[in-house]
Amino acid sequence: MESKEKILIKFGERVRFFRKQKGLSQEQLAFKANLHRTYIGMIERAEKNITLLNIEKIAIALDVSITELFSN
């Protein structure tokens, strides 16, 4: 089992990857996902343990599947 920190780091990296791929700023992604801009930054820096509901919001805002956010 991966440690909590590794999971948070991997997830944050994937969010940043897809956000940049879509040409979105953190603020734009936050707006699309109905989340706060600082929250997106904290996720990307692995500072927040995100809920399943917010994972779904981010996946929808990025137009990717939840599984894509966790795979390489």
Task: Specify the CATH number for the domain of residue 19.
Answer: 1.10.260.40
Tell me the average pLDDT across 56-70.
97
Q: What is the mean pLDDT of the chain?
A: 94
Residue with the bigger pLDDT between 44 and 2: it is 44
Tally of domains in the chain: 1
Instruction: State which residues form the domain around 50.
Output: 4-70
Task: Report pTM.
Answer: 0.91
Give the chain as a 3 state SS string.
CCCHHHHHHHHHHHHHHHHHHCCCCHHHHHHHHCCCHHHHHHHHCCCCCCCHHHHHHHHHHHCCCHHHHHCC
Q: Is 69's pLDDT higher than 60?
A: yes
Q: Is 1's pLDDT higher than 50?
A: no
